[in-house]
Structure formats: C-alpha cells, structure tokens
Amino acid sequence: MSARGLNRFGEADRRSAGRPYGGLPAPGSRSSDLVPRPEYTAEAEERILGGCGLMGVCDESGGRMSGELALRSMSSMHDRGNGLGGGFAGYGIYPDFPYAFCFHMLFNDDVGKDDTEYYLARHFVILHHEPIPSKSVRGIEDEPILWRYFLEISDERLAETQLSAEDYVVHSVMDINNHIKGAFVASSGRNMGAFKGVGFPEEIGEFYRLDEYRGWTWTGHGRFPTNTPGWWGGAHPFCLLDYSIVHNGEISSYGINQRYLEMFGYKCSMRTDTEVVTYLFDLLLRRHGLSVEIACKALASPFWKDIDLMEKEDRQLYTALRAVYGPALLNGPFAVVLGMGEGMVALSDRIKLRPLAAARKGTTVYVASEESAIREICPKPDLTWMPRAGEPVIARLEDGVNLATSAAYDAVA
C-alpha cells in the first residue's frame, strides 16, 4: 500500500502538496481553489441503495451488434428505473484502436479536463483523443464534459514502475478519481467503453448515439436509487480495466467486502456496492488468477450443507474457497452482469433475491432482469432459462475475437 501523502506511483500526493501536481505548475492552469467544484466523491457521503433493471448480450462468435439493441431491451424495463441513472457498456466498439486503453472521461469543467490531460500526458502515450459524440435529448441536462482518450503505456514507464500494464492503469484510474477534482474515469478498458449518465437508459442511449456503435458484447442498466444524487459518474456500469458491472440490488456485506478490498490496496471511495463488486472481480480474476466459474463460486458460494455432500476433491476446493474468500462473499440481494474482454458473466446471489433470466440463440447469449427484455430483442430464442441462485451464466468469446485479451494473454505466456 502506498505511504501516506504519496500517490500510487510513489509520487507526492498532489492534494497534500496543496497543488494538483506535487508542486509542479500545470501548463495553463488556473487556481483550482477559485471555484468550488463538485467532486468525484460527491455521492460518497451516503451509500446508494436501490433497485434496478439490467441486461446483457454477447455474441460468442464475435458478431457485432448495434448498440440500439441494448437500448431497446432496456426501454422495455423502463419502470425498473426512475430516471436517475442509466448506462451501457459496449465491447468491440473501437476496432481502430483494439489494443489501446480507452479512458471515457467525465469532467465537471475545463479545469478538471486540463488537470487530467496533464496527468495523462505525463503517464501515457496519448494515441488519439476526441469528444464522446452526443446529441441533445429531451430530459438529459447538465451533462459533464465527455471526452475519450486512447492510451498506450511506454515500455520505459512500465520498466520504471515495475508494474503490469493493467496494474499501471488501475493505479492511474485511482489517482485520477481520488485526486483530480471534477474528473472521473467512467471506463478504462481496451476496445470497450461505458456510456452513462443521469436519465432513463433509453434517453442516455439516444444521447450517446449508441446506434452508431457496433459491439460483440453489450450490457445495459436503468437505475432506481432511493436517494437523488444526480451525478453522472454514479450511474452504472461501473468499470475498471476491461471489466464493467451493471448491478441490481444491495450488498449487505458491503462493510466487510470494502475492508477486505482495502487490504489489497483498493480504495472504495464511491461507496457504491457496484464499485465493490467490480473490484472484487478484478481481484479474483485478474490478480488472483481464478477462473470465472471459481470466482463466481467465491462471490456467491454454495452452502455448507451442499459442500458437505460433495466428493472429497470438490469438498476441499469449496471449503478452501470459503475459508479463504469468506470476506469476499457477496451477501444480500443482487444480480449482476459483468462485461469483460473475454465475454460476459451474469450472476445472482446465493438465494436469488433479485431476478435474472437468460436465453441463448445460436452463438448469442442474453441475460436480463425480465424475460420480456430479452424477447424484445430476440423474439424466438433457442432456449430460455431462469439461472439458479449463485449459478453463473457465462458467455465466452471465441479465441481471437478480442485482440486485446488474446494479445495480453500472449504477453503473459
């Protein structure tokens, strides 16, 4: 864990140094103290509770679908949200930059943007950057400045920091989110992006012109928060690296999940359940190298009464999983859809207190809070089913579909 006053790269904490750059003057910077700006942690004072609707679709063969599909599916679950948050994640949407980490940024103002750009220029090679296209939509207002950056990390930086590219990105995301006022990284993965904001999901989708993107995986979310924060960053999906989470429910084990993650250096400063779920997947899948199936069994573990009846090898495995990952167990009502470079996973809690339906047609896997949201975009599925409590639905992209994850795999191997 980083020492107090240092950021995650061991540089002086810009805030504690009184300036956003550890004392270095930012080019063209203004005093950030002049205008009080809402912060990234604007929602953090109260933990956000509420119900929601969610969906996910993934074509395992890598066929790319219009974002309009996700939008239409979500609009059929209009009543599951209350217009205080909607969002989507798309994968395979940036074929021109298949290997670059794409940061989708929300800025409160130009100062946050300038500060972030200074940071990015210092830590990354910026291949390309541009505004995230949008159009004005009735009902969508007060949008932040939306910008996306396609980034690479120089070999020297990696050698200097002794970090993997993924860890490097994670550290940067935490740095920006925790230290740069008025800037929030909405997503930071490769060949993917999050499109989210305050509004009903169908409005948000239209605003972001989702129909102009094509991707092999889409997830969507409509939010029903029980308080009214009205902050764009608080909408789902919550993303880190290639992971994106849309989530319906409340994690009753939040307190211990968060303290457990802190031990591994994650800062849960947004105080949303979704953030915790995302970090747990990142920890288990990426850092601990567990498979999706096993990670899901850690997060929504089988009951002891069932484990006790298993054959010896399984019993040992699940006993160890629970003994070691008890603090990671997600308890309380939830259904989540995890988008990832390799595909998509949907999971409900161990007694299924939140709805989740699934379907398959050919190579395409669908999940949603309601079957109607699936039938809206796939009227005649080959198969529909209600996944059992704690049983993950997994869609796995065929090899070679996602160049980024195969390349990353090669680099490791």
Partner 1 sequence: MTEMTFVRPEFRVRIDREACIKCGRCVHQCGWNVYHLDADDRPMPDHSKCAACHRCVTFCPADAITIEKNPLAYKESDSMSSGLRKAIWRQAETGGVLLTGMGTDKPYLRIFDHLLLDACQVTNPSIDPLREPMELRTFLGRKPDSIEVGYGNGDGGPPKLLTELDPQLMLETPIVFGGMSFGSVSLNVHRALAMAAKASGTFMNTGEGGLHADLEPYQDNIIVQCASGRFGVHADYLQAGAAVEIKIGQGAKPGIGGHLPGEKIDEQVSTTRMIPQGTDALSPAPHHDIYSIEDLRQLIYAIKEATGYKPVSVKIACVHNVAAIASGVVRAGADIVYLDGFKGGTGAAPTIIRDHVGIPIEIAIAVVDQRLRDEGIRNRASIVAAGGIRSSADIVKAIALGADACGVGTALLVAMGCHVCQKCHTGCCSWGITTQRPELTRRLDPEWGAERVSNLIRAWSHEIAEVLGAVGVNAIESLRGSRERLRALGLDQTTMDIIGVKQAGVGH
Which position among 15, 317, 363, 384 is part of the footprint of partner 1 (CB under 8 A)?
317
Q: Is 25 in the site for partner 1 (CB under 8 A)?
A: no
Minimum Å gap between C-beta 63 and partner 1 is 25
Q: Is 83 in the site for partner 1 (CB under 8 A)?
A: no
Q: Is 320 in the site for partner 1 (CB under 8 A)?
A: yes
Residues between 260 and 279 with contacts to partner 1, criterion CB under 8 A: 260, 262-264, 271
Which position among 49, 126, 310, 403 is part of the footprint of partner 1 (CB under 8 A)?
49
Cα 177 to the center of its chain, rounded Å: 14
Residues between 348 and 407 with contacts to partner 1, criterion CB under 8 A: 350-351, 353
Q: Which residue stretch of 12-20, 31-39, 194-202, 303-311 sits at the interface with partner 1 (rule: CB under 8 A)? A: 303-311
How many of the chain's residues bind partner 1 (CB under 8 A)? 51
User: Per the residue annotation, which of 52, 58, 102, 239 is the catalytic one?
Assistant: 52
Q: Is 127 in the site for partner 1 (CB under 8 A)?
A: no
Of residues 262 and 399, the one with the C-beta less far from partner 1: 262
Of residues 192 and 276, the one with the C-beta less far from partner 1: 276
Q: Which residue stretch of 23-31, 113-121, 154-162, 315-323 sits at the interface with partner 1 (rule: CB under 8 A)? A: 315-323
Minimum Å gap between C-beta 401 and partner 1 is 19
Minimum Å gap between C-beta 334 and partner 1 is 9
Binding mask 215-254 for partner 1 (x = CB under 8 A): -----------x----------------------xx-xxx
Which position among 18, 23, 27, 326 is part of the footprint of partner 1 (CB under 8 A)?
326
CA distances from 184 to 45, 102, 108, 112, 411 (A): 17, 13, 9, 9, 29
- The three state secondary structure string of the chain is CCCCCECCCCCECCCCCCCCCCCCCCCCCCCCCCCCCCCHHHHCCCCCCEEEEEEEEEECCCCCEEHHHHHHHHHCCHHHCCCCCEEEEEECCCCCCCCCEEEEEEECCHHHHHHHHHHHHHHCEEEEEEECCCCCCCCCCCCCEEEEEEEECCHHHHHHHCCCHHHHHHHHHHHHHHHCCCEEEEECCECEEEEEECCCHHHHHHHCCHHHCEECEEEEEEEEECCCCCCHHHCCCEEECCEEEEEEECCCCHHHHHHHHHHCCCCCCCCCHHHHHHHHHHHHHHHCCCCHHHHHHHHCCCCHHHHCCCCHHHHHHHHHHHHHHHHHCCCCCEEEEEEECCEEEEEECCCCCCCCEEEEECCEEEEECCHHHHHCCCCCCCEEECCCCCCCEEEECCCCCCHHHHHHHHHHC
Residue of 328, 318, 386, 382 lying closest to 355 (CA atoms): 386
Q: Which residue stretch of 14-22, 105-113, 282-290, 394-402 sits at the interface with partner 1 (rule: CB under 8 A)? A: 282-290
Of residues 155 and 313, the one with the C-beta less far from partner 1: 313
Of residues 115 and 250, the one with the C-beta less far from partner 1: 250
Which position among 291, 309, 362, 407 is part of the footprint of partner 1 (CB under 8 A)?
291
Q: Is 342 in the site for partner 1 (CB under 8 A)?
A: no
52 is catalytic: yes
Interface residues with partner 1 (CB under 8 A) are 1, 46-47, 49-51, 226, 249-250, 252-256, 258-260, 262-264, 271, 287-291, 293-294, 301, 303-305, 313-314, 316-317, 320-327, 329, 331-333, 350-351, 353
Any idea which residues carry the catalytic annotation? 52
